[in-house]
Structure 1
Amino acid sequence: MNSFAPPPSGYPDSIYRSVLGPDFARLQPQLQDYFSAGEESGTFGEGTGVFETAGCPRPWLRPLLPLVPVSNAFFPDYGTGIPFSIRNYPHRDPWGRPSLTAVRTFHFPRRDRVFEDTTTLTGPGRLTDYLGAGRNLATDLVLSVTEEGHLRMNSPRSRLFLGPLRLPLPAFASADAQVEQWYDGGTGTFRIRTRVIQRQVGTVFVYDGSFGYSRLPWDGQLPAGAVPARWERRV
């Protein structure tokens, strides 16, 4: 059983502020606003922009990605100048844990692809990111703030949930997701750079680009397009 007692109803903080603590104030002011929305904010975030590069950069690997038992996460497409949108919904999961569900839509020339996840406060100072439509790939999320006030996120440990099975991925099969996000004052946009790196292969997934972002009123109920096919409680 999960022994973590979630904060009481009305908890005002975002999951990122909860984990970063005093370091949250070192983020660029625009990033503080971006990551400050909690469940009581009455808003969700919406952004649109263009990824300079997005997808799997290794042609030989792309035909294998559909075999990975995690849908709406890693996809066998790659391109440049890819328009995209993102929606961020702060909420609680079915077990009362503070969470943020993100739905990213990549508009490739031949089809749209969706990358969705729910990041959840699963313990004091602990974030777990559940990826895919079934939220069956879980990674630990480690946060840090750079000297420039950028937010860095690493996910060095992953496990796959297949029915009742919990399968920690061994070092040779796992990958480290490295994300850096910041605000570009020159363009008035947010920048994000994401690399998923596998030790033997190198970079296997990437998205890198800029986007505008705004917060919009919201009633706190996840829309149908953001509700996962199933929720995952295990960490």
Structure 2
Amino acid sequence: MKSIFQQALGEKFNQLHPEIQKKFGISSQDKIMILGQGRMTEIRGTPLLLRPFLHIGSKDHLIFAERGKNIPFTLENYAYADEQGREVISYIRRFFFPYAIRGLDAAMYYDEEKQMIVDELGKSASLSSVLDVDVTKEGGILIHSHEMNVKNSYKINGPLTSLYEHYDEQEQAFRIHVHVEHPILGTILMYEGLVHIEFLPMTYSYIPERGIL
């Protein structure tokens, strides 16, 4: 079984750095999970007066209002096949601020009809977007979101996300840069940092609730 990123990239997948291939190449057949730990050098974005409104999305792990530097971070990836037989990988991110722990959760699957990855956002999967995936000259992975939808029913003029990730040979870790931008409000959230990962055995009892998250 190919991972969703192998399906989306095709032959281009082989152009990724070997460590990026390992990280983005896991599938349900591997029966493993990824645990990542690191720090975000900086988390910024959203004008100060608008940040209180972001608390609305924090309960669903869609967005959060806290900002800062040198923030501890964890990532969990679970790859499995859902009830429809689709290959799925969940992303569970936690940011450990001094007075709060905030989350960004998502689940991705490959849409055969669109021939693209669909990203379902938040614990409730209330929002979704379609992802373009590409490979950089350095063997990193580049992901852009577009077509933000509410429950796959109608499109909204929502924020779009760009993710760039590459492997740092010297640190033997992954450098991540994420930028969430609204067409009118500008940068909603930007974070970047260094993450070390390990691969661990997984059983389906470890997959968080909601099946996907």
Which TM class, normalised by the smaller chain length?
Answer: over 0.9
Aligned in 2, Cα 1:217/1:207: closer, same or farther, shift over 3 Å? same
User: Distance in 2 between the 1:220 and 1:182 partners?
Assistant: 29
Runs of 5+ consecutive residues of structure 1 not aligned to the other structure: 1-11
Contact 1:39 1:220 in 2 (8 A): no
Residues 179-217 of structure 1 show CA distances to partners (whole Å, capped at 9, x for unaligned) of: 001101121110110001112221111121011001111
User: Distance in 2 between the 1:157 and 1:70 partners?
Assistant: 23
User: Distance in 2 between the 1:99 and 1:160 partners?
Assistant: 20
User: Distance in 1 between the 2:58 and 2:32 partners?
Assistant: 33
Aligned-pair CA distance for 1:156: 1.7
Aligned in 2, Cα 1:70/1:139: closer, same or farther, shift over 3 Å? farther
Residues 79-115 of structure 1 show CA distances to partners (whole Å, capped at 9, x for unaligned) of: 1110010000001222221100111111011010111
Question: Which residue is 1:183 aligned to?
Answer: 167
Question: Which residue is 2:209 aligned to?
Answer: 227
Question: Which residue is 1:133 aligned to?
Answer: 123
Contact 2:58 2:102 in 1 (8 A): no
Contact 1:194 1:206 in 2 (8 A): yes
Runs of 5+ consecutive residues of structure 2 not aligned to the other structure: none
Aligned in 2, Cα 1:68/1:108: closer, same or farther, shift over 3 Å? closer
Q: Secondary structure at the match of 1:76?
A: coil
User: Distance in 2 between the 1:107 and 1:15 partners?
Assistant: 29
User: Distance in 2 between the 1:151 and 1:37 partners?
Assistant: 15
User: Distance in 1 between the 2:67 and 2:35 partners?
Assistant: 24
Question: Which residue is 2:139 aligned to?
Answer: 149
Q: Secondary structure at the match of 2:153?
A: strand
Contact 2:163 2:178 in 1 (8 A): yes
Question: Which residue is 1:9 aligned to?
Answer: none
Question: Which residue is 2:48 aligned to?
Answer: 59
Contact 2:46 2:186 in 1 (8 A): no
Q: Which runs of 4+ in 1 moved over 3 A?
A: 67-70, 220-223
Question: Which residue is 2:79 aligned to?
Answer: 90
Contact 2:37 2:196 in 1 (8 A): yes
* Matched residues, number: 212
Contact 1:70 1:136 in 2 (8 A): no
Aligned-pair CA distance for 1:176: 1.6
Q: Percent of aligned pairs with the same residue? A: 25
Contact 1:57 1:206 in 2 (8 A): no
User: Distance in 2 between the 1:83 and 1:69 partners?
Assistant: 18
Q: Secondary structure at the match of 1:62?
A: helix
Question: Which residue is 2:198 aligned to?
Answer: 214
1:31-180 matches, cutoff 5 A:
31-54=20-43, 56-68=45-57, 71-124=60-113, 125-161=115-151, 166-169=153-156, 173-180=157-164
User: Distance in 2 between the 1:167 and 1:13 partners?
Assistant: 30
